[in-house]
Amino acid sequence: MAAASESDAKLLELLKLPQDEEEVDGFLFSQMAWSIVVPMALRTTIELGVFDIIAKEGKGAKLSAKDIVDHIGTNNPEAASMLDRLLRLLASHSLLSCSVVEDPESSNNLHHRLYSLSPVSKYFVGDADGVSLGPSLLLHLDQVFTQSWLVVLDTGVGQAMTIVFSNNVVGVEHMGGDMFESVPNADAIFMKTILHDWGDEECLKILKNCLKAIPNDGKVIVVETMVSIFPEPTSFAENAFRNDVIMMTQMLGGIERTKQDFMDLANGSGFSGIRFVCCVSSFWVMEFYK
């Protein structure tokens, strides 16, 4: 694996732990609210037979998501990318092992991930009789089993309660319109958790419109979760990859991006530079300069 640059090393250092009590509280809430994502990703991986596919390749086998998809067989052109996003989440929880290598077919120094079985993975690989702990996990996540919890925890009043948490909206001026068509002129534009809703093509449209709307000394402030190339087992990485899987399943084109992805968006939309200011509760504050 290629050595990490000094800037990447600083990035990983910042991603290790929350920095104060308020960040910890917010982080714990996020972990509890979306704790179901990892078991659901694991269930999908088991149902696709990923653990068995890797095991059949022999001891120490390392397969890319594309290699695994070739074994599964599918006509979905996005299958390898989608599976990779699932597997890197599991790797950040040590349910798989992962190594990152340079892509020999890439001209832009891109990397891809290779997955192998971790010590925990063996529990999901069928033995000589085809037995593993996979079916037990699938049972626990079955609709019949999960609905039984609702019966046990029913308050007896015959009502369901839904609690909706929404992101804080920060801004000086709120104006209607279509951001894909135009953005109102401003000295600075603030966007929090907007870009992760959209694919690259849509993000470039939004950012190009933002570029037109700011003066030469203006800037666009973007707040988004950032994923690392290597799925290290840290709280921040787990949270970022979990958010990414949520975006993949809930928003068409939704994705959490890497540092390089944001740099590519800045360059592709015509900005002269981007500055990574700070990280707060797994969210990065970035400034795009005209």
What does the alpha-carbon distance between residue 84 and residue 172 come to, in Å, rounded to a whole number?
39
**Residue 174 annotated as catalytic:** no
Q: What is each CA distance from 271 to 208, 266, 267, in whole angstroms?
A: 8, 5, 6
User: What single letter denotes the amino acid at residue 184?
Assistant: P
Residues 6+ away with beta carbon under 8 Å from 144: none
Coil, strand or helix: which one is 214?
A: coil
Alpha helices in the chain (DSSP H): 6-14, 21-33, 37-47, 50-56, 65-72, 79-92, 134-140, 143-152, 200-213, 235-250, 259-268
From the candidates 71, 111, 174, 196, which is the catalytic residue? 196
Beta-strand pair 219-225/188-192: parallel
Coil, strand or helix: which one is 22?
A: helix
Q: Give the Cα-Cα-Cα angle 90, 12, 257 (nearest 5 degrees).
A: 60
| Residues annotated as catalytic (active site), given as ranges | 196
